[in-house]
Structure 1
Amino acid sequence: MTITLGTLADAEAVATLHTESWRTAYADIMPADYLNGPLYEERLALWQHRLTTPTPGAALFVATDAATLTGFVYLTPQSDGRILLDNLHVRPTLKRSGTGTRLLAHAQTWVSTEHPGRTLYLEVLEANTPAIAFYERHGGKRTDRRPAHFPQGFTLTELEYTWLPT
C-alpha cells in the first residue's frame, strides 16, 4: 500500500469510496432515502470543490494498492487553531486490514510536521460504534458530544475525539 497526496484526478475514485463507505457504515444510522439518493453526485461535487479550490493548509491523502484506491484521509485547519480530520474512509471490504491505522498514523505525522503544536480532532456519529472503537484503540480521547445538523434536514448526535500534539 502506498499513501500519496491526493489530486483532482482522484476526485471520482474518492467520491465513489466515500459514497460506498457512508452507505455501508451509516445504513442503520442515516435516513435510507438520503443514503439511496444522489449521494454520489453530492460527494463528487464536494471533492471536486475541495480539490479545485483548496483550503490553505488542508491535505487529502489517498491510499492505493496496485493503482486501486483503498482509503483516504482529509485534514483541514480550523479557525480555532486545531486540525480537523474531516474524513477517514477505508474500502468496506478492507476494514481491519491496517489501512485505516496507516492513514491515521500518516495524518498524525503530517499534522506534527506541517502544523506543529496543533491538536488533531475529528467528529464521529455516536451510533458509529465501530469507528469509535477504532479511534479509542488509537489513542483518541472523547472531548465533546453535540448535535450534528445535516442540511438534508436530519439531526444526529456526534462525538468529538482529540489527539494532543506530540
Structure 2
Amino acid sequence: MKIRSGLRADVEAVAALHTASWRSAYAGIMPAEYLEGPLYEERLGIWGRRLGAPAPGAALFLAEDESGVVGFVYLMPCSDGRMLLDNLHVRPSGKRLGTGSLLFRQALDWVRAEHPGRTLYLEVLEANTSAIAFYERRGGVRTDRRVAHFDQGFELIELEYAWPVAEAS
C-alpha cells in the first residue's frame, strides 16, 4: 500500500469512496432517503471544489493499492488555530486491514511537520461507535458534545475528539 497526496484528477475516486463509506457507516444513523439520494453528486461537488481550489494549509492524502484508492484523509486549518481532520474514510470492504491507521498516522505526522504546535481534532457522530472506538484507541480525548445541523434538514449528536499533536501517538 502507498500513501500519496491527492490531486485534482482524484475527484471522482474520492467522491465515490466517500459516498460508499457514508452509505455503509451511516446506514441507520442518517435518514435513508438522504443516503440513497444524490449523495455521490453532492460529494463530487465538494471534492471538485476542494481539489480545484485547495484551501491554504489543507491536505488530502490517499491510500492506494493495486485496485486503486482504498482510503483517504483530509485535513484543514481552522480559524481557532487547530487542524480539523475533516474526513478519514476507508473502503467499506477494506476496513480493519490497517489502512485507517496508516492514514491517521500520516495525518498526525503531517500536522507535526507542517503545522507544529497545532492541536488536531475531528467531529464524529455519536452513533458511529466503531469510529469512536478507533479514535479512542489512538488516544483521542473527547472535548465536546453538540448537535450537528445538516443542510438537508436533520440533526444528529456529534462528539469532538482532540489530540495535542506534540503528545499524539
Residue 37 of structure 2 corresponds to residue 59 of structure 1:
no
State, as a whole percentage, how many aligned pairs show the same letter.
69
Tell me the TM-score normalised to structure 1 length. Answer: 0.99
SS where residue 135 of structure 2 aligns?
helix
CA distance in structure 1 between the aligned counterparts of 2:137 and 2:8, rounded to whole angstroms: 32
> How far is the alpha carbon of 1:66 from its aligned partner?
1.3
TM-score scaled by structure 2?
Answer: 0.97
> Which residue of structure 1 aligns with residue 43 of structure 2?
43
- The amino acid across from 1:94 in the alignment is G
Partner secondary structure for residue 107 of structure 2: helix
Question: SS at the partner of 2:3?
Answer: strand
Matched with 1:24 is 24
AA at the equivalent of 2:51: L
1:74 paired residue number: 74
CA RMSD of aligned residues (A): 0.6
CA distance in 1, matches of 2:112, 2:118: 7
Cα displacement string for residues 108-159 of structure 1 (whole angstroms, at most 9, x for unaligned residues): 0000000000000000000000000000001111000000000000000000
Residues 1-166 of structure 1: matches in 2 within 5 Å? 1-66=1-66, 68-166=68-166
- CA deviation after TM superposition for structure 1 residue 67, in Å: 5.1
Aligned-partner residue type, residue 73 of structure 1 = V
The list of structure 1 runs, each at least 4 consecutive aligned residues, that deviate by more than 6 angstroms after superposition, is none
Where structure 1 has 5 or more consecutive residues not aligned to the other structure, the ranges are none
The worse-fitting range, judged by mean Cα deviation, of 9-18 and 58-67 is 58-67
Larger mean CA deviation between 88-97 and 61-70 belongs to 61-70
- Between the aligned partners of 2:25 and 2:98, the Cα distance in structure 1 is 18
Q: Which runs of 5+ in 2 are unaligned?
A: none
Give the distance between the partners of 1:67 and 1:30, measured in 2 at CA.
29
AA in 2 matched with 1:123: E
